[in-house]
A and B are shown apart, each in its own frame.
Chain A
Amino acid sequence: MATTETTPKPLGEAIISRKETNLWKDAFSRLTRNRAAVTGGVIIFLLFLVYVFAPVIAIRSYDVQISKDNNAMPQWLVALFPMTQGYARVNNAYPLGADDLGRDVFSRIVYGSRISLTVAFVGPLIAMLIGTIYGSLSGFFGGKLDNLMMRFVDTMYAFPTLLLIILMMAFFRSSFAGIAEPGSFKYTMNQLDTKVGGLLFIFIGIGITSWMGMARLTRGQVLSLREKEFVEAARATGSTNLRIMFRHILPNAIGPLIVSETLAIPGYISYEAFLSFIGLGVNPPTPSWGMMISDGARVIRTYPHLALIPGLALAITMFAFNFLGDGLRDALDPRMRGSS
């Protein structure tokens, strides 16, 4: 640092003037100095605004069909894709065009952010909830129980995840639907799922298949932390197991867990998009970017924007979460820089 110009301060003052800091403050200041991470954070914040104010931002609701305007395109899109000239119906009332049913693409993209963002936040929550409880139980009690629980995790890992999710979605979708008697478990679940546009079963599917990494990580953390002196001290002062777990071990283990789950978010987003892409995800007409890509890919020769625009939205969102996740990892543990 070029500090030759400034007059040197007395040593004591320099030490006193150093601001008080802790792990989280320190990490936050490192995070804000990382330009990519800040960009990612800003994009996620904007997406969150879109999520909240979707009814205000969108031109009309995502399911309104104006059939005389089907496949309409605004002038700028026709100029961007010259081959659509001649057959595309130009209508500038649709900023991103309309799909084959005459639904406004812009509004559907806006509402689609709700699906992706919900998955981005609920997915990690489910994985963390199951994974940390499972992993800390396993690590804390150790011994035979630990061995047994970890072998179960190994077995779960052997399932081809995507295939299992597909199978479970098919199972939920067909065995819970069409149950007529209200009050039964399946009926209630199906009603709930319909209310949230099909997201409930996606969450269950993701939850069942993606907690194992978190469990392993938590167990590892707990195993190393429970041997530390401060845990021994807590035990010596008569703290209960529960208190040691929640007051002493988990707060110290949470950093790597958060980083790992943030880095997993793009994976959850792409799972949902893929499930909707193959028709096992959200229920139409709930707009999911994955479903929009699937619809658009069928007419990519004639109306390329119908697949490319939701694709762009999905990619930008995943970029943002990746940037933020990388930044968070570097900020919380500079030693992990660059590793995956």
Chain B
Amino acid sequence: MGQFVVRRILWMFVVLFVVSFVTFFLMHQVPGGPFDSEKALPADIMANLRARYHLDQPLWRQYTQYVYDVLVPRVTSKPPSPSVLDSFLIDVKMGDVYFRWMNFGPSFTSKSRSVNDIFHDQLPVSFQLGVMAVLFAMGLGIPLGILAALKQNTWLDYLGMGVAIFGVSVPAIVMGPILVWIFAVTLKWLPATGWGAKPPYLFGFLPSEFSLNFFKYALLPTITLGMGGSAILARLTRASLLQVIREDYIRTARAKGLAERLVIVRHALRNSLIPVATVLGPYFAAVVTGTFVVELVFGIPGLGKYFVNSISNRDYPVIMGTILLYAMVLVIANVVVDIVYAFLDPRIRIQ
């Protein structure tokens, strides 16, 4: 077990290196630089700018410098300076020393904001949206799947599976405008675009207050993002529960006279949710990238919108940082799911 965990974590680092490597070189193949504009800058100024951002150095030097800045944590007693070059994503004060980790560098399109500043402002929004969507998907999908399985081949089953097929068939770019048109334009109950929370965030990522206003803004995007996931979860829960119900130990539980409710809750449900836990990894990935789509549809100032803009602006550090950050989240989520799965299912633990 210990070996398994260590191997998975080492593998995680290899993957992240590959991701950063591919992204870095692919990105630098795109012609045009961040300082190309309609009005050409004088060559001297251009050279200065390029030197300032190390763009005059060979590509591999730029890459190693970048990886060094991101990967190696610093422990110093110097207080942080306001410079955009000296900004870290993780910056904690521990007694007299500062623990500072993950410097994604300055942004090329903003004078005063580093990539980390952008993450600090934009990422919490994406995070809030993603978490609410996951909660919505689980809250709707799992009960729906359980009901459909317990009442197999009744109208409840058909309704549940109807919702599931609706969820996978209506993409966010269709669902978004439909919801906006019904609830924002026609009924005027909810706002069409925007987000209800602004920095500063509680603990760096939570909205400072869970007001009615916050939920008003969040409701439509959450449904749009969560619908597809609830469909996947409902189908999987149903299939898994149907399989478990036919197992011998369920028959044994019934045969010894256990109440049906206890058979379902204590014996069937617990075991049927194990396979559901495995899709949470890939599902988490779907939500994370799904936030991109939904943020664009609803004009939410999260990281997704920023990412698409940064591509057309050739803002290398923002592109690079975003992809790395998301890859990191995905890889960690997958490793955590693998390990949790191994703990949940004794059959895997023994191997």
* Chain A positions near chain B (C-beta within 8 angstroms): 83, 154-155, 158-164, 166-168, 170-171, 174-175, 266, 270, 273-274, 277-278, 290, 293-294, 296-297, 300-301, 304, 307-308, 311-312, 314-315, 318-319, 322-323, 326, 337-340
Give per-residue flags for B191-210: 1 if the beta carbon is below 8 A from chain A beta carbons, else 0. Answer: 01000000000000000000
**In the complex the two chains form, is A170's CB within 8 Å of B169's CB?**
no
Known: A307-B181, A322-B169. A338 touches B319 (CB 8 A): no
Contacts of A297 in B (CB 8 A): 176-177, 180, 297
Find A300's partner among B22, B185, B236 (CB 8 Å cutoff).
B185
Residues A274 and B322 in contact, CB atoms below 8 Å apart: no
Offer 28 A-B interface pairs, CB within 8 angstroms, sorted by A. Answer: A155-B14, A160-B285, A160-B327, A161-B285, A163-B323, A164-B323, A167-B323, A174-B30, A174-B32, A175-B31, A270-B173, A274-B171, A274-B172, A274-B293, A304-B185, A307-B181, A308-B181, A311-B173, A311-B174, A318-B168, A319-B169, A322-B168, A338-B235, A338-B242, A339-B235, A339-B236, A339-B239, A340-B236
Counting CB contacts under 8 A, is B46 at the interface?
no
B169 touches A266 (CB 8 A): yes
Whether the pair A171, B235 counts as a contact (CB closer than 8 A) is no
Given contacts A314-B174, A315-B174, contact A338 B238 (CB under 8 A): yes
CB-CB under 8 A from B97, the residues of chain A are none
Residues of chain A contacted by B296 (CB below 8 angstroms): 277-278
Interface residues of B in 299-350 (CB under 8 A from A): 307-308, 311-312, 319, 322-323, 326-327, 330-331, 334
Contact size range, B? 35 or more
The verdict on A158 contacting B297 (CB below 8 Å), with A300-B180, A322-B168 known, is: no
A163 and B30 in contact (CB under 8 A), knowing A158-B327, A319-B165?
no
Roughly how many angstroms separate A163 CA and B307 CA in the complex, as a whole number? 9
Q: How many A-B residue pairs have CB under 8 A?
A: 138
Using an 8 Å CB-CB cutoff, how does the interface string of B54-90 with A read, 1 for contact, 0 for none? 0000000000000000000000000000000000000
- Assess the A338–B181 pair: CB atoms within 8 A: no
State A330–B14 Cα separation when bound (angstroms).
39
Question: Is B15 at the interface (CB under 8 A from chain A)?
Answer: yes
Interface centre among B171, B319, B322, B327 (most CB of A within 10 A): B171
Q: How far, in whole Å, are A164 and B232 apart by their CA atoms in the complex?
A: 23
The answer to whether B311 and A167 have CB atoms under 8 Å apart is: yes
* Contact call B311/A170, Cβ cutoff below 8 A: yes
Q: Across the two chains, which residue of chain B brings its CB closest to A319?
A: B169
Residues on the B chain within 8 Å of A326, using CB: 165
Inter-chain CA distance A307–B173, complex, in Å, is 10
Report B23-57 CB contacts with A as 1/0, cut-off 8 Å.
Answer: 10011011110000000000000000000000000
Asked whether any CB of chain A lies closer than 8 Å to the CB of B292, the reply is yes
Verify A340–B30 contact, CB threshold 8 A: no
Q: 6 more A-B contacts (CB under 8 A) besides A311-B177, A339-B236?
A: A161-B285, A162-B289, A315-B169, A318-B170, A322-B165, A337-B239
Q: Does B269 contact A (CB under 8 A)?
A: no
Given that A160-B289, A322-B168, A323-B165 are known contacts, is A340 also in contact with B239, CB under 8 Å in the complex?
yes
What is the minimal beta-carbon distance from B336 to any residue of chain A, in angstroms? 14
In the complex, are the beta carbons of A158 and B19 less than 8 A apart? yes
B18 at the interface (CB under 8 A from A): yes
CB pair A162 B319 closer than 8 Å:
no
A159 and B19: CB pair below 8 A?
Answer: yes
Question: Which residues of the other chain, A, contact B178 by a CB distance below 8 angstroms?
Answer: 308, 311
Q: How far is the CA of A86 from the CA of B126 in the complex (A)?
A: 40
Cβ contact within 8 Å between B289 and A161: yes
A158 x B15 contact (CB < 8 A): yes
Instruction: Tell me if B288 counts as interface (CB < 8 A to partner A).
Output: yes
Cβ–Cβ < 8 Å partners of B242 in chain A: 338
Q: Which residues of A contact B15 (CB under 8 A)?
A: 154-155, 158
**Cα-based distance from A318 to B165 in the complex (angstroms):** 10
Q: How far is the CB of A207 from chain B (nearest CB, A)?
A: 16
With contacts A171-B26, A300-B181, A315-B169 taken as known, whether A163 is within 8 angstroms of B174 at the C-beta atoms is no
B177 and A307 contacting across the interface, CB-CB below 8 Å: yes
The 3 closest A-B pairs by CB, nearest first: A311-B174, A339-B239, A270-B171
Would A162 and B292 be within 8 Å (CB), given that A155-B18, A326-B165 are in contact? yes
Question: Which residues from A are CB-within-8-Å of B288?
Answer: 160
